[in-house]
Chains A and B, each alone.
Chain A
Amino acid sequence: SQQGEEDPQALSIQEGENATMNCSYKTSINNLQWYRQNSGRGLVHLILIRSNEREKHSGRLRVTLDTSKKSSSLLITASRAADTASYFCATPANNLFFGTGTRLTVIP
């Protein structure tokens, strides 16, 4: 399976702190995507990093990709209560393979 796996499974931090989530995958990839899912909602695409990129920023999000280690990390800086959600990495092939997610709780 090409499925990504996120680590940790759950993360609880204080508002204003940074949150880091990691993703590992098994095979070579074209790109890696991160999604957010608020409770009871569908997934929302956050950021896509291509296999030839090492780092990408979008607002308070920073994503890194290490293809030699088959891993990626998502950093959310200056977290807010509204960032409370589950975060998934996904690796596309013929279709998109999702990990099981990191549940982030930001405490006000």
Chain B
Amino acid sequence: NAGVTQTPKFRVLKTGQSMTLLCAQDMNHEYMYWYRQDPGMGLRLIHYSVGEGTTAKGEVPDGYNVSRLKKQNFLLGLESAAPSQTSVYFCASSGLSSYNEQFFGPGTRLTVL
């Protein structure tokens, strides 16, 4: 099993450009999450999903959109990138509930110039 995978691993954008980060999991998990990690800030939840076709806002959702068209995939979109979105983005998934342990992907390092 690959667990949780993320593509791409690195990306550099110019302000105003758009992009989509892809997260995939092969553990048949219901819950999936997108976090961003900034120095000294820990992890902050952007959006999450409790099942196929559902999404919900987390702590810092502004400037991001998500979609969960398939159970195994969770997409994070930036419609118009800003330098403040320079960060490392992590996807995670968990099984039966949000109280279970989460499994993390390796991260995507995004730089917005």
> Footprint of B on A, CB under 8 Å?
3, 30-31, 33, 40-45, 48, 88, 90, 92-101
Residue from B42, B58, B98 in contact with A101 in the complex, judged by beta carbons closer than 8 Å: B42
Residue from A3, A41, A48, A92 in contact with B42 in the complex, judged by beta carbons closer than 8 Å: A3
Distance of A74 Cα from B43 Cα, bound (Å): 19
Is there contact, CB below 8 Å, between A95 and B104? no
Most B CB atoms within 10 A — which of A3, A88, A92? A92
> Footprint of A on B, CB under 8 Å?
4, 33, 35, 40-45, 48, 56, 58, 90, 92, 98-99, 101-107
Contacts of B99 in A (CB 8 A): 30-31, 92
Contacts of B56 in A (CB 8 A): 94
Distance of A3 Cα from B64 Cα, bound (Å): 22
Contacts of A95 in B (CB 8 A): 33, 45, 48, 58, 98
Contacts of B103 in A (CB 8 A): 45
